[in-house]
Amino acid sequence: MTTVYDVPADHLIRKVAEELKSKKEITPPVWASFAKTGVHKEMPPEDPDWWFIRAAAVLRRVYIDGPLGVERMRSFYGGKKNRGSKPNAFRKGSGSILRKSLQQLEATGLIVHDLKVGRKVSPAGMAFLDRVAKDVSVTPPASVPKRVKPVVEEPKKADGKKSESKKGKVAEKTEDAKGEKKPAAKKSEGKKPETK
């Protein structure tokens, strides 16, 4: 029998996220569109469906490592914070995002909360994940296209040649306040003017 352990995690998470979209209990909060997933991040997620993907990843993590709590989950979803000239340092992920995701998964009945040991997957949650894992093993989802940054091309001149960058070159002529062109002042070559 195919279980969660037998299929790739990224395929399973994407398929579970699609299934969770149909459940009315799993809804992103109003602040989800502009919230970062932790202090180690510089920007919020770009994917508009990131809340469902995170909820699916949390459900899989509870299945594999449960029972566990929010604080331990924060370590899973943390990362290195760029501190400038100081060395990078590990920071935990957002506890609010994980707590709300776990509460929503509890409302669907996929997770149960045991006050002594933490949250663990319910029998319904196990059956749900194993069913999705079986579907993934039979028909894996299409691969996600990798995001490629657009290449910025240099502007072309009228004759079709690429324009040269102005960096490091002194302009031949400058315009004064009236719009008339006059020759640019020459820079001194580091010699001091002679005094008499």
CB 38 within 8 A of CB 92: yes
- pLDDT tens for residues 9-20? 888 888 888 888
Asked whether the predicted pLDDT for residue 172 surpasses 60, the reply is no
Place 161 in a pLDDT band, splitting at 50, 70 and 90. low
Give the pLDDT of residue 138.
84
Terminal-to-terminal C-alpha distance of the chain: 99
* Architecture in CATH of 4-138: Orthogonal Bundle (1.10)
CB within 8 Å of 173: residues ≥ 6 apart: 181, 182, 183, 184
CB atoms under 10 Å from CB of 129, counted, come to 24
CB 124 within 8 A of CB 54: no
pTM of the model: 0.69
Give the pLDDT of residue 170.
47
Residue 68 phi, psi (nearest 5): -150, 170
Give the pLDDT of residue 190.
60
CB 106 within 8 A of CB 113: yes
Phi/psi-derived region of residue 98, left when phi > 0, alpha when psi is between -120 and 50, beta in every other case: alpha
Where do the structural domains in the chain lie, given as residue ranges?
4-138
- pLDDT tens for residues 67-117? 888 888 888 888 899 989 999 999 989 888 999 999 999 999 899 988 888
Give the pLDDT of residue 160.
60
Lowest mean pLDDT among 72-81, 128-137, 146-155: 146-155
